[in-house]
Amino acid sequence: MAQLQGQVAVVTGAGHPRGIGYAIAASLARQGADVAITDLPSSADLFESAKSIENLGVGSLALPCDVTDSAQVQETMARVVERFGRIDVLVNNAGVGVGSADFLELTDNDWELSLGVNLRGVVNGCRSVIPTMQAQGGGRIINIASLAGLGAIEAIPACYTASKFAVIGLTKQLASNYARDKILCNAVCPGSIVTQMHEQTLELIAEQEGISLEQAQQREDAHIPMGYSAQPAQVADAVSYLAGPSASYITGITLPVAGGMSPGL
């Protein structure tokens, strides 16, 4: 079922082969879309990952791009249009999880990085594709927020929670502003997904609580009604649904992909 045949997608922060971004890019490619992937210029895997996407039988492009730099993001989207002629789907996936769960220990740098990547990075992506989507007569924007954007969880740094709440606000505002342009804008809110970032979070919890990584994972599993942390492909399935024809009348939603886990406070 190549439901996205003839369409062009861009996924940010998709260089790492075990990350959610790469899984999303692969899922969109399996639906037939040409997929441009971006990641930090320092990403070691970006070009290899684009090759793996191409091996799925679609066009792909690897574009080093720091999402906090609005000029780089504009240039990146322009290169996608130059190569593929359009942009139908933008997935703002790039994100960072930094800082301590102790609010008073968070540094200016933690706040700048969290808001710079997790919020301003999404703003930069949206700003640079909306005119193209308007000219085309529509498009889909899918922002990867977090369950931490729907409620506060004690072990999560405040800078991360605040940045993900902000992304959800932005998503709803853009959904409202651009509905008549047929630009649908939704947020996906992953719970606990097995990636590099997840490993870092577990390490932080293990260190703070003086427990092993395995014990930290067991504690986390105990809070997940389905009893386990998901694979990136399970988030990618939800994104592909929101990008596809079955979601043609859905905009402004926040979709938890969290095995039944509730957001916190």
As annotated, the active-site residues are 160
94 binds ligand NAD (CB under 6 A): yes
Selected binder of ligand NAD within 66, 88, 110, 220 (CB under 6 A): 66
Minimum CB separation of residue 105 from ligand NAD in Å reads: 20
Selected binder of ligand NAD within 4, 7, 8, 16 (CB under 6 A): 16
Which of 89, 102, 115 is CA-nearest to residue 14? 89
Selected binder of ligand NAD within 192, 217, 240, 254 (CB under 6 A): 192
- The tokens describing 135, both together, are 């000219």
Minimum CB separation of residue 21 from ligand NAD in Å reads: 6
SS3 category, 252: coil
Selected binder of ligand NAD within 152, 155, 162, 197 (CB under 6 A): 197
Q: Which residues contact 117 (CB under 8 A, 6 or more apart)?
A: 67, 68, 94, 95, 96, 163
Q: Which residues contact 9 (CB under 8 A, 6 or more apart)?
A: 25, 28, 33, 34, 35, 36, 87, 88, 89, 90, 91, 243
d(CA 55, CA 78): 24
144 binds ligand NAD (CB under 6 A): yes
Q: Provide the binding-site residues for ligand NAD, judged by CB under 6 A.
A: 12-13, 15-16, 19-21, 39-40, 43, 66-68, 93-97, 117, 121, 144, 146, 190, 192-193, 195-198
